[in-house]
Amino acid sequence: MPDRPVPPVVAARRLNCRSLAAAAVGTAGAVALGGGLAGMARPASAGEAGHPGHGAGRRVLPSAPAAMAQATPVADADFQLGPGPNRWVEPPVLRSQAGVLEVALEAAPLPAAGTGRMAYAGTLPGPTLRFRPGDTVAVTLTNALGGDMTNLHVHGLHVSPEGNSDNVFLMIADGEQFTYVYDIPANHPAGTYWYHPHHHGDSWQQVSSGLAGLMVVEGGQDDLPEIAPLPQRLWALQGPFRTPDGWVHTANGVVNPEITLQPGQTERWRLANVSANDAFNLALDGHPFHLIGLDGNPLPDRQDVDDIVLGPGERADVLIQAEAAGTYLLRSLAWGEGGQRQPEFTVATLTVTGAAVAPAPLPTALIALEDLAGAAVDRRRTVVFQEGYDGLPYSIDGAAFDHDVVNTVVQLGDLEEWELRNDSAEWHPFHIHVNDFQVMAVDGEPFGAVNRQDTVALPPGGSVTIRTRFTDFVGRFVYHCHILTHEDHGMMAVIEVVP
């Protein structure tokens, strides 16, 4: 695909990626959202295992890494969800019926001895929840983790942050049960979302141990004539997990699953990085990604790209059209610098074989969105992400997270413009709950894309300017870095929308 300018919307996902200069986005270098923590201790085994991206946590996994490196290999039953090694498998699907989805999720350790892994409903990742705008989703969470508190966050959903909805201030003690109820607005964007624990101080440990699952809001571009007939493949990308054979990343709990397509065959892939700290810098040998959605929102137009960087928490919906017969690797390319550097690894193997089929026509125009560039701004703010400020390892605007302090008060219905400044030498993926945003500028340069996202990478020493409208819901929620070790160590703040 020579001479094709990098679409701005893609630059949102590949800030500082290989083609950054072409994207006129500013800061050069490599994207890095991995888990390295400048100035903080890292488990020795991370370096020994050759995986610097794992990141140091307040605690390590229950199985001590040093012991693990010496241990006799364990029967790794956690990765045997599928019918056999390397077979493609997807988590069980739970679908709403007559407008209601009731789900029981038990968060519990997985049975394989010594791995410290955890899962919802016994599957790694947890079951996929599928529902539609206007539905009611009730999730009864049981904490069977055997010690720590936990809770549940529905990442990207535009739902109330109060009461028993997407309220991350709730804490569910070990042995307790709690029912969350999410009323999905009738105009909710259709797309790919995910759920995970959001218990401050334990988020990294619980998500990196496996507690995550996908959600799909159906409708919207599902009904476009070029998209409706396409088979879908859901990818919950996780890792790294420590195994007797070293660190591994998984797709739906499988290491390097094998996929088979016929030449010309078209599929729709929902790619979700549901890891705690690592980035997935995705590229499929010989195949462009035909990008149709980001972060649970449709794009206005299809955009064809060679690679997509998904920081932790980010999603991309793409179409894939199989090329000539052969074997192609889906890779996460080497990426990042310094403590955030990650090596290349294989995500999956695509085999194209069999009789060729006529390629389906790909859509061009998708679903138009309001361009917030033309909207009146009610208030402007600057939000600064810091490391080592005033003795704090991680902070926002000079303060570490305190669940009793409201850092930002916003008027319901206001449209605000925030300049998100990164005063550190590491990448920080900014994420805000409840309301999506449009990226307006990167390092002060106009961005030019009209799409919505709930997470955006802040380049080291740089800035991203966003616009967001605080609609529908009052209450307290949070914005934070989605590298969960950073969040757990204080890089999170409380916002309250008032009537």
Q: Residues interacting with Cu ion, by CB under 5 A? A: 428, 481, 483, 486
Q: Is 491 exposed, middle or buried (0-12, 13-18, 19+ CB in 10 A)?
A: buried
The DSSP bridge partners found for residue 422 are: 385
What one-letter code names the amino acid at 127?
Answer: P
Give me the least distance between CB of 428 and Cu ion, in Å please.
Answer: 3
As measured in angstroms, the least distance from the Cβ of 109 to Cu ion is: 27
Rounded Cα distance between 137 and 131, Å, is 8
Question: Closest separation between CB of residue 388 and Cu ion, Å?
Answer: 13
Nearer to Cu ion (CB atom), residue 117 or residue 428: 428
Q: Which of residues 317 and 487 has its CB atom nearest to Cu ion in the complex? A: 487
Q: Pick between residue 443 and residue 472 the one whose CB is nearest to Cu ion.
A: 443
CB nearer to Cu ion: give 170 or 491: 491
Nearer to Cu ion, 53 or 189 (CB): 53
d(CA 185, CA 352): 41
- Cα separation of 55 and 419, whole Å? 27
- Distance in Å, CB of 15 to Cu ion, minimum: 14
Which lies closer to Cu ion via its Cβ, residue 94 or residue 481?
481
Largest CA distance in the chain: 64
Measured CA distances, 320 to 231, 284, 433, 437 (Å):
11, 9, 30, 27
Supply the minimum distance, in Å, between the C-beta of residue 39 and Cu ion. 13
Q: How far is the CB of 215 from Cu ion (least distance, A)?
A: 24
- The minimum distance between CB 478 and Cu ion, in angstroms, equals 14
Radius of gyration of the chain (CA): 21
At 87, list the tokens: 């077979």
Q: How far is the CB of 458 from Cu ion (least distance, A)?
A: 8
End-to-end CA distance of the chain: 50
CB-CB contact of 488 with 202 (8 Å):
yes
Q: Among residues 285, 255, 266, which one has the least CA distance to residue 88? A: 255
| Shortest distance, position 481 Cβ to Cu ion, whole Å | 3
H/E stretch holding 143 reads strand 136-143
Sheet holding 379-389, edge to edge: 392-396, 379-389, 415-422, 463-469, 438-442, 445-446
From residue 241, alpha-carbon distances to 31, 33, 450, 463, 468 in Å are 22, 17, 36, 32, 35
What are the tokens at 383? 């939000």
DSSP class of residue 20 equals H
Give the nearer residue to Cu ion in terms of CB position, either 347 or 481: 481
DSSP state of 78: G
Report in angstroms how near the CB of residue 33 gets to Cu ion at its nearest. 8
Cβ atoms of 15 and 31 within 8 Å: the answer is yes
Q: Smaller CB distance to Cu ion: residue 469 or 486?
A: 486
Closer Cβ to Cu ion, 195 or 394, answer by number? 394
Q: Which residues pair with residue 194 across a beta bridge?
A: 155, 214
Cβ-based nearer residue to Cu ion, 52 or 91 = 52
